[in-house]
Structure 1
Amino acid sequence: MKIHFIAIGGSAMHNLALALEHKGYAITGSDDVIFEPSKGRLETKGLLPVEFGWFPEKIHTDLDAVILGMHAKPDNPELLRAQELGLKIYSYPEFLYEQSKYKTRVVIGGSHGKTTITSMILHVLAYHDIAVDYMVGAQLEGFDRMVHLTEENDFIVLEGDEYLSSPIDRRPKFHLYQPNIALMSGIAWDHINVFPTFENYVEQFQVFVDGIVRGGSITYNEEDIEVKKVVEASENAIRKFPYSTPDHRVENGITLLDTPEGEMPIEVFGKHNLNNLAGAKWICQNMGVDEADFYEAIATFKGASKRLEKIAEGTNKVAFKDFAHSPSKVKATAEAVKEQYPDRKLIACLELHTYSSLNAEFLKEYDGALNAADEAVVFYSPDAVKIKQLDEVTEKQIAEALKREDAQIFTEPTAFQEYLFAKDFDNSALLLMSSGNYGGLDFDSVKELFH
């Protein structure tokens, strides 16, 4: 098959391109800008466009399909040419469904935890040499790509994102997968630029549950009130399996999980991660992995990239990096580190970086998000607010939203870095939460502070 990618450089898109190249398809692609690691990975496989930009002449009748990335605009010259020629145009999730319509589709949905749960499932399956197709939103240790597609595997495990499918398909991605086995981890309002009200956001999860194949199943976090309401109200003819946070305790910075064989030390920590683990266990059992085999494998799971990732550790100090930016994730992550290191000072740094987090109205959702921190630090760029054409956000508004008058707020990258590098981290835990990089913070230099 000959397939052309419009906006091949995105994190998800380039991984799909690599997966299809690995499957033996002929791949071409375009983009106006491509950053690392996508650039290097595409180059290695000979898939990097010779020059950046959009070239309608790359679109021709010999193509079997065009895959359209979110980064492209509806008036993209290549897209217009594909429409003119009447070519088959897929969004990323549509194409994944096309590749998996004869497989058992396992879809992990939820506002938070879905990458970690999907990663846990894939780790357990790989540990026991169970081959499956997959798509996950983070690079995993021991996996070459974030997408893997074959003809022969019976199962595909998909991370079910609620964000839009493509510039010309405004449906949330997870509405297109039609799962046989599904999971829902939590509902916490996000993507307010697309879902302007909480009710509108919750509705997307109702559609997801109603889209599960008849006779399929939903495994759901019964500790999340909204999830419980959505799942229990659904009249879809499916089986419903609730899960909750398993019993555990923390001793000397080690989390011990209660199992039928007794206490077992695990690498991940925090109530939210243990809750994720319980969900992953149910899904693995639905896929034929027994409980004892699940525990044996999960003991070696170190976490998904950028999800509570330990970046440095000294004798009495430790530093973590986390992708957390939405209010519920920030709160859960800060609480997890404090619970794991109760006797250390927790310095929690949050970068407000996304459209939602820089919205003056949405800021109220961060109420109490950094309460677990002994020292609360916030970084944001007023320029980013301007670029996103949002109303100005003030330092006072941020401190009031967090209910932390003592919060230290930085708007200049150099000032934030000077603060960080002048700090004594003895008997401390540093937590850096962001989907950005604090205006160019060198994480290798941060690691040096902990040696």
Structure 2
Amino acid sequence: MNKNDTFGVIGVCGANGNLIARILKQRGYNVIGTDLSFKKDCRFAKSLEGYDIDVFYGKTPEAFFKKSDYIIPPASLPKDSDVLKNCDKPILELYDIIEMIKPEKPVFGITGTNGKTTSTTLLKKIAYDNGIKPCEHDLEGMQGNAEFIPILQSRLDGDVGILEVGTFGVPGTVGRVVKNTSMTGGVITNITPDHLNDLGSFMDYANVKAEFIKELDGKTLIVNGQDPTIMGLLRELDYKGEVITFGVDELPDSVGMKECVCGREIAVKEIISGCGYYFCQCGITTPQVDYIATNVDLKNRTFDLHTPDEKLTVKMGVDGLHNVYNLIGVIIAAHKFLDLPYDKILPSVASFTGVSGRMEEVAKVKGKDIFVDYAHNPAGVETVLKEFKKLFGDFTTVITVSSESGYPGDLGIFNSVLKFSKFIVPASVASHKIAIEKLEDNPKLNDRIFLNHISDFKKTGTLGASQEEVRDGLIKALNLDCEMVIAIGEAATKFKSVIFEL
């Protein structure tokens, strides 16, 4: 292969095809593309602008094959398809591109059950603020934390790769991302139950996250030391790299049970859901962490951070104790991975106001403040609502969630909503079913649970409600005697435009 070769990419309107075309073009190769979609329907056409890539939309003409020296089809295209049947050019697979082009930059990953997106976004902001350019996938509307997107993203232009690493509940996904990006270090925010429908048990899910630890063995991990699952996996896997731990010095306000890696159920004196002070007979116990936050003042958004060398005063632009954890992990990562002094990091932390859809104040309607939050698993919902209760007092929760852990996850979410909310409006089919069960068991809840109109909407992943159901749920919530409304779940963030309509 040489720089005069032309690569023909089939399916440039798909995520992988789009990224492959841009990677090859950035490396100086000639690239042409084709897609059955017309340009107006091409989801990622905007990210191809400025790349000087000729694209045949709506068809794959003979000229496409004549101009190409190599053909790169999407993985989903059968080898005996009509498009490839008469192709006489060498065909390259996705993994051929991955092998052919390496990241050639430092790559760091952020994984965990909750807090990944916030942490990744903040670490990128710190990089940008200091003249360091992270590679970006630029796929509009795509979170891009799993499958092959992070792997391909790491090969795009940039000074550094800062990748959010998810699972989608599929074993092998995390390990594949770490391995194929030549990752040199990472952050683990927490590990709490999720994707149980796909993986069966909490420890099955934890072991998928453990692929991050296995593949980074001998390198550097920044971890929440107050999470017994993370610390247990590090021990079980005999991790031999550098481990930097962090935590928060706060009094626990609840006790939760969590499965230990040894199989026992252990009590966790929780600071946030699933994290705090713990001890198991197998020897897993809360360590003396390397970085610890003290004097946390959520009202004034400040805390002191004790590092191994000095004490820092940190000002936050976001709310919540869970975000104190997120911020500490990022501050350490910026210092360790980006090699920045703290005085170059803290101004970015202070000016960071969060990620769209995470504790996001959207509007004031009828004098009531409306927030949305993407929380979609039991630990995430409990953590967010606990923080809302501390910060704001009474609120109404509109539930748009359908848990990826099925009924147990939906029940856990509903129980957390019931624990912290003044009023509840179940706007998803899953939450509506549980609400009916709760009302049958305890009719006294009639003055707290207000059933919503539910259609025949079919859930997709964690998207548990339709736009109409979200709108109806918000209208019902706005008519209740409470000055604050929070809509939780993927549907709440996806359809938040209905708030402006109201």
- Structure 1 pair 194–63 and aligned structure 2 pair: CA distance change class (3 A): farther
SS of the residue 1:408 aligns to: coil
Residue 396 of structure 1 aligns with an amino acid whose one-letter code is I
- Aligned partner of 2:58 in structure 1 is 51
- Structure 1 pair 329–428 and aligned structure 2 pair: CA distance change class (3 A): same
- Aligned partner of 1:435 in structure 2 is 490
- Aligned partner of 2:318 in structure 1 is 268
Report the TM-score, using the length of structure 2 for normalisation.
0.67
Residue 268 of structure 1 and its aligned partner are, at CA, apart by: 1.1
The match for 1:235 among 238, 249, 253 is 238
Q: Output the CA distance in 1 between the equivalents of 2:56 and 2:213.
A: 39
Q: Output the CA distance in 2 between the equivalents of 1:403 and 1:204.
A: 41
Counterpart check, 1:351 vs 2:400? yes
Answer yes or no: is the 8 Å Cα contact 1:268–1:303 preserved in 2. yes
Answer yes or no: is the 8 Å Cα contact 2:214–2:239 preserved in 1. yes
How do 1:109-258 residues align onto structure 2 when only pairs under 5 Å count? 109-134=111-136, 153=158, 155-163=160-168, 171-178=172-179, 179-212=183-216, 214=218, 216-245=219-248, 246-247=293-294, 248-251=296-299, 254-258=300-304
Q: Output the CA distance in 2 between the equivalents of 1:364 and 1:446.
A: 27
Residue 176 of structure 2 aligns with an amino acid whose one-letter code is H
Worse-matched range after superposition: 427-436 or 393-402: 393-402
Residue 446 of structure 1 aligns with an amino acid whose one-letter code is I
SS of the residue 1:369 aligns to: helix
Q: Deviation string for 1:206-230 (max 9, x for gaps)? A: 222111153x111111122211211
Q: Output the CA distance in 1 between the equivalents of 2:469 and 2:156.
A: 53
Counterpart check, 1:303 vs 2:354? yes
Q: Deviation string for 1:66-108 (max 9, x for gaps)? A: 454xxx58899489879998733226xx967865454322111
Q: Output the CA distance in 1 between the equivalents of 2:388 and 2:312.
A: 24
Q: Output the CA distance in 2 between the equivalents of 1:132 and 1:408.
A: 46
Residue 303 of structure 1 and its aligned partner are, at CA, apart by: 1.6
SS of the residue 1:28 aligns to: strand
SS of the residue 1:299 aligns to: helix
Q: Output the CA distance in 2 between the equivalents of 1:182 and 1:402.
A: 47
Q: Output the CA distance in 1 between the equivalents of 2:41 and 2:370.
A: 24
Answer yes or no: is the 8 Å Cα contact 1:104–1:155 preserved in 2. yes
Q: Calculate percent identity across the aligned residue pairs.
A: 14
Q: Deviation string for 1:374-404 (max 9, x for gaps)? A: 222222248xx9xxxxxx9564357799999
How do 1:36-47 residues align onto structure 2 when only pairs under 5 Å count? 38-39=43-44, 41=46
**Greater gyration radius:** 2
The match for 1:372 among 374, 397, 420 is 420
Answer yes or no: is the 8 Å Cα contact 2:70–2:89 preserved in 1. no
- Structure 1 pair 416–294 and aligned structure 2 pair: CA distance change class (3 A): closer
Residue 203 of structure 2 aligns with an amino acid whose one-letter code is E
Q: Output the CA distance in 2 between the equivalents of 1:361 and 1:381.
A: 15
- Aligned partner of 1:389 in structure 2 is none
- Aligned partner of 2:70 in structure 1 is 63
Q: Output the CA distance in 2 between the equivalents of 1:148 and 1:163.
A: 18
Q: Output the CA distance in 2 between the equivalents of 1:372 and 1:43.
A: 46
Residue 351 of structure 1 aligns with an amino acid whose one-letter code is T
Worse-matched range after superposition: 399-408 or 96-105: 399-408
- Aligned partner of 1:294 in structure 2 is 345
Residue 104 of structure 1 aligns with an amino acid whose one-letter code is P
Answer yes or no: is the 8 Å Cα contact 2:362–2:372 preserved in 1. yes
Q: Alpha carbon RMSD of aligned pairs, Å?
A: 4.6
Residue 158 of structure 1 and its aligned partner are, at CA, apart by: 1.4
Q: Output the CA distance in 1 between the equivalents of 2:328 and 2:93.
A: 38
- Structure 1 pair 302–230 and aligned structure 2 pair: CA distance change class (3 A): same
Q: Output the CA distance in 2 between the equivalents of 1:321 and 1:308.
A: 6
- Aligned partner of 1:388 in structure 2 is none
Q: Output the CA distance in 1 between the equivalents of 2:192 and 2:480.
A: 33
Residue 196 of structure 1 and its aligned partner are, at CA, apart by: 2.6
Worse-matched range after superposition: 199-208 or 314-323: 314-323
**Higher normalized contact order (CA 8 Å, seq sep 6+, divided by chain length):** 1
Answer yes or no: is the 8 Å Cα contact 2:44–2:139 preserved in 1. no
- Structure 1 pair 102–447 and aligned structure 2 pair: CA distance change class (3 A): same
How do 1:408-423 residues align onto structure 2 when only pairs under 5 Å count? 408-410=450-452, 411-412=454-455, 414=468, 417-421=471-475, 423=478
How do 1:10-49 residues align onto structure 2 when only pairs under 5 Å count? 10=15, 26=31, 28=33, 30=35, 38-39=43-44, 41=46
Residue 299 of structure 1 and its aligned partner are, at CA, apart by: 1.0
- Structure 1 pair 418–200 and aligned structure 2 pair: CA distance change class (3 A): closer
Counterpart check, 1:338 vs 2:389? yes
Residue 436 of structure 1 aligns with an amino acid whose one-letter code is A
Residue 323 of structure 2 aligns with an amino acid whose one-letter code is N
Residue 203 of structure 1 and its aligned partner are, at CA, apart by: 1.5
Q: Output the CA distance in 2 between the equivalents of 1:76 and 1:407.
A: 55
Answer yes or no: is the 8 Å Cα contact 1:4–1:28 preserved in 2. yes
Worse-matched range after superposition: 271-280 or 101-110: 101-110
Residue 340 of structure 1 and its aligned partner are, at CA, apart by: 2.4
Report the TM-score, using the length of structure 1 for normalisation.
0.74
The match for 1:2 among 4, 7, 11 is 7
- Aligned partner of 1:363 in structure 2 is 410
Query: What are the ranges of 5 or more consecutive residues in structure 2 without an aligned counterpart?
Result: 1-5, 143-148, 249-292, 456-465
Q: Output the CA distance in 1 between the equivalents of 2:72 and 2:317.
A: 43
SS of the residue 2:192 aligns to: coil
- Structure 1 pair 13–407 and aligned structure 2 pair: CA distance change class (3 A): farther
- Aligned partner of 1:105 in structure 2 is 107
Q: Deviation string for 1:402-435 (max 9, x for gaps)? A: 9994433432465663452362588723222222
Residue 256 of structure 1 aligns with an amino acid whose one-letter code is T
